[in-house]
Amino acid sequence: MELLNKPLKELNRLIKEKEVKPSELLKELLDRIEETEPKLNAYITVCEEEAVKRAEIADRELEKLSKDEVPELFGIPISIKDNINVENVRMTCASKILENFISPYDATVVKKLREKGAIFAGKNNLDEFAMGSSTETSYFGPTRNPWDLERVPGGSSGGSAAAVAARSAIASLGSDTGGSIRQPAALCGVVGLKPTYGRVSRFGLTAFASSLDQIGPITKNVEDAAYLLNVISGQDAKDATSARVPVPDFLAGLNNEVKGLKAGLPKEYFVEGIEPEVKEKVLEAVKKLESLGVEVEEISLPHTEYAVETYYIIAPAEASSNLGRFDGVRYTYRAKDYKGLVDMFCKTRAEGFGDEVKRRIMIGTYTLSAGYYDAYYLKAQKVRTLIYQDFEKAFEKVDFIVTPTSPTTAFKLGEKTADPIKMYLSDIFTIAVNLAGLPAISIPCGFDGKGLPIGLQIIGKAFDEATILNVANVLEKELKVNNLPEL
Ligand SMILES: NC(=O)C[C@H](N)C(=O)O
């Protein structure tokens, strides 16, 4: 496991210096996956054969390359959440309806990683179509938290976060619609970055809520997140929502001094309902920032209390439309017995989707229907603007905002499945960021009394990932949190 614990930059150096062969690194990873999967279930598909073939090719290519010619991710396996397309590999979205779907093309992020030499060893488990906060809605069974196997890893990118924590993935890409990168990162003690809406192309990500979805890295440390963000960022002709903005070198500013920067602590994020130990550890980390010369002030984001409700109108509305394409005609699963076309559509969807997906489709269809559109959907869009304006105002005064990532540490399997509202509330601190399209990162900041990791969230201005990565990196070095679970 020694290699698997190393940062990406160091792995790249070892491969460049020809001290490690891609096939050796892959072997170590496949062994670790074999060892941990019976406990974790963090993967839906392990593409062993293909990865071994690619690593052997990389071994031979490496012989011919000079040190400077070896690209950043040459021979390094990256795992991918199973709602992102990797050519010729099964992509299920953790749903029965896509159980046997083979991706016909690479998502843009995958293509970009491949161009830098990355290898793809597996697809990580998730909540069905990324709808959930615990990875329990997966058709392929839940993923378990490597810090406590009786607990959830968070979600929806729970497979990615659990695998990175357990070192059964070197790094992973997840997707975040309402917290799906940051909340599992927090619950598993790893780093999760949701970039600004438009920073990274979503071409090839299975759409859930198109005005909110964003792809981002889940990694062992902040530097790895910056390393991957450098590779996956940038405008893409295949995604009209990707932004034509310059991409800085995110590694360059990681160790800049944070002295003189201004941090905002939103009073609405430190209220009752949050576990005392979570609050305590986050505030302790804020004290560290202060000792490094950061000026901290209390701010207010007054519309925070409406964020969850707003999200659970907008996201299901978009989902009900996006998931219309799974009809038994265009994608793999089709019901066996039916009478006519409409009956085939209905039965396929009734049999192919799980309960949470159906719940969202029904909510979305309801809020978009003629009689309720103005009362729900239109109103939610207006509140979304107010939430955005809260952040705009706050960022006139501060450079970044610090909050807990999740109100609690990892909860027990089954604890919240019977009550969807309880489950929805576990994203209470992450959702507003998606509604406002902003970048945010979660880093581990300590443990609760049960030894479970606590996550701290840093929210930045639009397209200012550089600042939050810088602050996160400096804080990570200061806090020195052990993020390797015993497993
Ligand atoms: N997809 C996400 O970002 C997570 C959120 N809990 C949801 O279920 O919608």
pLDDT averaged per 10 residues, the chain (length 487)? 95 98 98 98 97 98 96 98 98 97 98 98 98 98 98 98 98 98 98 98 98 98 98 98 97 97 97 92 98 98 96 98 94 93 96 97 95 94 98 98 98 93 90 98 98 98 98 98 92
C-alpha 303: how far from chain center: 25
For atom 5 of ligand 1, which residue has the closest CA?
A: 178
For residue 349, the model assigns a pLDDT of 97
For atom 9 of ligand 1, which residue has the closest CA?
A: 131
Q: Is 180 a catalytic residue?
A: yes
SS3 at position 408: coil
List 180, 233, 320, 426, catalytic entry: 180
Number of separate domains in the chain = 1
Q: Which atom belonging to ligand 1 lies closest to the Cα atom of 430? A: 3
Range of the domain at 198: 1-486
* CA dihedral for 478, 445, 388, 315, sign (positive or negative): positive
Reading the block at residue 292, the tokens are 């490094």
To test ligand 1's pocket by mutation, which of 82, 93, 127 has the most ligand atoms within 8 angstroms of CB?
Answer: 127
Q: Which atom belonging to ligand 1 lies closest to the Cα atom of 130? A: 1
For residue 65, the model assigns a pLDDT of 96
CATH number at residue 97: 3.90.1300.10
For residue 395, the model assigns a pLDDT of 98
- Compute, in angstroms, the gap from residue 259 CA to the centroid of ligand 1: 35
Q: Which atom belonging to ligand 1 lies closest to the Cα atom of 180? A: 3
**Residue 100, CA distances (Å) to 90, 103, 105, 171, 393 in order:** 6, 10, 15, 25, 48
For residue 487, the model assigns a pLDDT of 87
Helices first, then strands: H and E counts in the chain: 15, 11
For residue 422, the model assigns a pLDDT of 85
Asked whether 244 and 235 are in contact (CB, 8 A), the reply is yes
Degrees, nearest 5: CA angle 241-464-462: 45
For residue 194, the model assigns a pLDDT of 98
Complete DSSP assignment for 241-267: TS-------TTTTTT---TT-EEEEEG
- In sequence order, what are the residues at sequence separation of 6 or more whose Cβ sits closer than 8 angstroms to the Cβ of residue 39? 144, 146, 149, 487
- Compute, in angstroms, the gap from residue 57 CA to the centroid of ligand 1: 38
- Compute, in angstroms, the gap from residue 209 CA to the centroid of ligand 1: 10
Residues with CB under 6 A from ligand 1: 130-133, 156, 176-180, 315, 427
295-299 β-sheet, strand order: 43-46, 119-124, 77-81, 172-176, 214-219, 191-194, 440-447, 453-460, 400-404, 262-266, 295-299
- Return the closest-CA partner of residue 211 out of 80, 373, 319, 359: 319
